[in-house]
Structure 1
Amino acid sequence: MNSSQIPHFDYIFTGTGLASLMTVYKMIVSGKFSDKSILLLDQDSKKANDRTWCFWEKGDSIWNPIISKKWDSALFANTNFNRHLELKPYQYSKIIGLDFYNFVFEEISKHSNITFLNEKVTDINELETHVFVGTDENRYTCNYLFNSIYTRAFAERQNKYPVLQQHFVGWFVKTKEEVFNAEEVTFMDFSVEQKGNTRFMYVLPTSKNEALVEYTLFSEKLLPKEEYEKEIEIYLKKLGSEQYEILEKEEGSIPMTCYPFWEKNTKRVLNIGTAGGWTKASTGYTFKNSDKKTSELVEFLQNENFQLKSFNKKSKFWFYDLLLLDILYRHNELGSSIFSSLFERGNPALIFKFLDEETNLIEDLKVILKCPKMPFLKALFRVFL
């Protein structure tokens, strides 16, 4: 095949995770890209339910048709206290991964200018006038490429920025006993044994006897799978459930780092999603950040003479996240006390606004000053040195 026979597209998306599918969906909704040819490439056909996304929001969003559950209340707990958080004006929302994939691909199927191919990307090569993409089956070129294939080595083979993982195993369970409060999500329950780490339970109940129960850590090293599952068993027993059925399982590991992935963006290649540093570094939350970033990106692409390299900008929140990660990397056992001090006395709506990176400096201080001061002062000293 000579170069003139290689299929050419205006945009290619390598990897069809959350960020890519959100971007393409919003390109469709905008009505501004119907004259652009778009190719999505992924070795995964996106026909399996591989994850659950949660986020807080005010009012409805474009994702409302696929939100399977909303909660107005959340529980935060540790060994010393329980606090029931009224989330208003926010609601905590859940989207099942397969519902999201089906929703977006159904819309994509209506547009002849968008193609999805189930192929594994093997090579990306940027040239002066275009980008070359090789797969295990074919070759393509495009004007601009959006890459969401995460390369672990970029973050993990450097020492300047700490790298933790938000790692978890979750069981969708149906219990014989009614042990869950269907109207309240358990946001973080630090009453589980910490074992020198930041460890908590996360519970998304859909009825009094059905819930997703996840054992989650913010730490550097993953555990043997049986350790996560043993802790879920212990927790269910503590809730009062002796008999239950495991309907489904999920597991994951999300990088938590302030490593500047965006520095690898170029004239024609933009890294997006986790590969672009879009995951909220201090929490591992992905959905809300990606929702914001993809809206910004779709607007950005409508500007004449846009430069992909200039899309990402570092903010004060990147610096706040860096301080927290520095603390948790050096003293992982402090996670429970830091988050507990924040939620024991803090205003839940203000905390969520802060985590959404929408607060002003005075509001930032109201949140930050709730945290233990000495660890952050030490981290501040280390980061500036």
Structure 2
Amino acid sequence: MKHFDYIFTGTGLSALMTVYKMVLSGKFKDKSILLIDENTKKSNDRTWCFWGKEEVIWHKSISKKWDSALFANKDFRRDLDLKPYQYNMVRGLDFYTQVFDLISKQENITFVNQKVTAIEESENVILIQTASESFSCSKLLNSIYNKQKAENQTKYPVLQQHFIGWFIKSEQPVFNPEQATFMDFSVEQKGNTRFMYVLPTSKTDALLEYTLFSKNLLPKQEYETEIKNYIQKLGITNYEIIEKEQGSIPMTCYPFWKLNTKNVINIGTSGGWTKASTGYTFKNSDKKSTELVLFLTTETDFTKFHKRTKYWLYDLLLLDILDRKNELGSSIFSSMFKKGNPTLIFKFLDEETSLTEDIKVILKCPKILFIKAIFHVAFRKIK
């Protein structure tokens, strides 16, 4: 059995960001690192987006940027000037290529294309079992999501950001390649929070995603029927589907960090790194992975890593409302974006606002709903 200093079980976004930054730091050259995943990361299996102001280390993976976004519902449409932010699109394969181009050159890093079947922790050593091999390590960074832990409890609401997306090429030049559609709630809500999300890369090419924030997934046909209806509404009569993608991202304030031990840390969605109120993952994982790499250079006890912030409570209040009254999502987001300052809203969603700025954003939302949510959350005795 081969022993490693660090093992990553699962090589999703958070794991790859972390190991990439470990290499860049130059402080882990003498540490043996193993990555284990059943996925080879050689296909374009997902798309991430994030807004930002400065150039990031992932600039090679950004395939498109927008300075403007559209927010819409049945009653109004608003063009959002994002400056000084830009909305960035990262395609999965581009990100994987950037990361593996670097880590494949490192003699101390090994990638094993296998499925993890068991993890056992003793006081000083963690054992990882796959179908054909066993490994051990001193520190484990796990990003394999434990669905049962989050969903088999009632204190914390668990919704899903679930979607199916089509990359299409249209014969009609209907798209504005200079503007992303951030949320279009003009689609039928059907008792849920449902919207279309459109990322145009040219006048004829775009990714269209039918997205829900709700508890239960839909039959595949329902997502695709809604995409077809939206394409028709745009005036497109002839088009080709280039690629498809689908996903379901947990939206919850469940305290995953409480599952961390001295030598095992849960990262990514498994560690609560996903932004609970929106399902956005890229920016949060970028921040958290930077914090984790710095932590690894100074600390050894993973139970000390997490710090809960005021944004955890804000997210919890929104999820509490959507858990009980899922149909209210459109009105909540619409009230925020109808007259709110887009720059301030994105700063708020990035968890970088002062308390005064928080209040400016929150006051745009339906006040009675959130006051009731405060009492409901308090009644649940959430800590």
Q: TM-score, normalised by structure 2?
A: 0.98
Q: CA deviation at 1:143?
A: 0.7
Q: Give the secondary structure class of the aligned counterpart of 2:164.
A: strand
Task: Give, in whole Å, the separation in 2 of the partners of 1:239 and 1:210.
Answer: 13
Look up the equivalent residue of 2:187 and give its one-letter code: V
Residue 225 of structure 2 is aligned to residue 230 of structure 1: yes
Cα shift readout 1:222-245 (whole Å, capped 9, x = no counterpart)? 111111111111111111101111
Q: Which of 272, 276, 280 pairs up with 1:277?
A: 272
Q: Which of 335, 340, 348 pairs up with 1:341?
A: 335
Within 5 Å, give how 1:1-385 maps onto structure 2: 6-303=1-298, 305-385=299-379
Q: Give the secondary structure class of the aligned counterpart of 1:26.
A: helix
Q: Give the secondary structure class of the aligned counterpart of 2:377.
A: helix
Q: Give the secondary structure class of the aligned counterpart of 1:44.
A: coil
Cα shift readout 1:335-366 (whole Å, capped 9, x = no counterpart)? 00000000001111111110111111100000
Cα shift readout 1:169-224 (whole Å, capped 9, x = no counterpart)? 00000111111000000000000011110000000000001000000000011111
For structure 2, the residue ranges without an aligned partner over 5 or more in a row are none
Look up the equivalent residue of 2:206 and give its one-letter code: A
Contact 2:273 2:284 in 1 (8 A): yes
Look up the equivalent residue of 2:216 and give its one-letter code: K
Q: Give the secondary structure class of the aligned counterpart of 1:110.
A: coil
The number of aligned residues is 379
Task: Give, in whole Å, the separation in 2 of the partners of 1:119 and 1:193.
Answer: 42
Task: Give, in whole Å, the separation in 2 of the partners of 1:312 and 1:245.
Answer: 46
Look up the equivalent residue of 1:62 and give its one-letter code: I
Contact 2:48 2:89 in 1 (8 A): yes
Look up the equivalent residue of 2:335 and give its one-letter code: S
Contact 2:262 2:300 in 1 (8 A): no
Q: Give the secondary structure class of the aligned counterpart of 2:372.
A: helix
Task: Give, in whole Å, the separation in 1 of the partners of 2:56 and 2:272.
Answer: 23
Root mean square deviation, CA, Å: 0.6
Look up the equivalent residue of 2:370 and give its one-letter code: F
Task: Give, in whole Å, the separation in 2 of the partners of 1:89 and 1:193.
Answer: 33
Cα shift readout 1:44-68 (whole Å, capped 9, x = no counterpart)? 1111111000000102100001100
Q: Give the secondary structure class of the aligned counterpart of 1:301.
A: helix
Task: Give, in whole Å, the separation in 2 of the partners of 1:347 and 1:36.
Answer: 47
Cα shift readout 1:272-331 (whole Å, capped 9, x = no counterpart)? 00000100000000000000000000000110x431011011111000000000000100
Task: Give, in whole Å, the separation in 1 of the partners of 2:23 and 2:371.
Answer: 47
For structure 1, the residue ranges without an aligned partner over 5 or more in a row are 1-5
Task: Give, in whole Å, the separation in 2 of the partners of 1:273 and 1:187.
Answer: 23
Q: Give the secondary structure class of the aligned counterpart of 1:192.
A: coil
Contact 2:66 2:88 in 1 (8 A): yes
Contact 2:116 2:129 in 1 (8 A): yes
Contact 2:263 2:300 in 1 (8 A): no
Q: Give the secondary structure class of the aligned counterpart of 2:329.
A: helix
Tell me which residue corresponds to 1:3.
none
| Moved beyond 2 Å, runs of 4+ | none
Q: Give the secondary structure class of the aligned counterpart of 1:29.
A: helix
Task: Give, in whole Å, the separation in 2 of the partners of 1:109 and 1:115.
Answer: 8
Contact 2:103 2:109 in 1 (8 A): yes
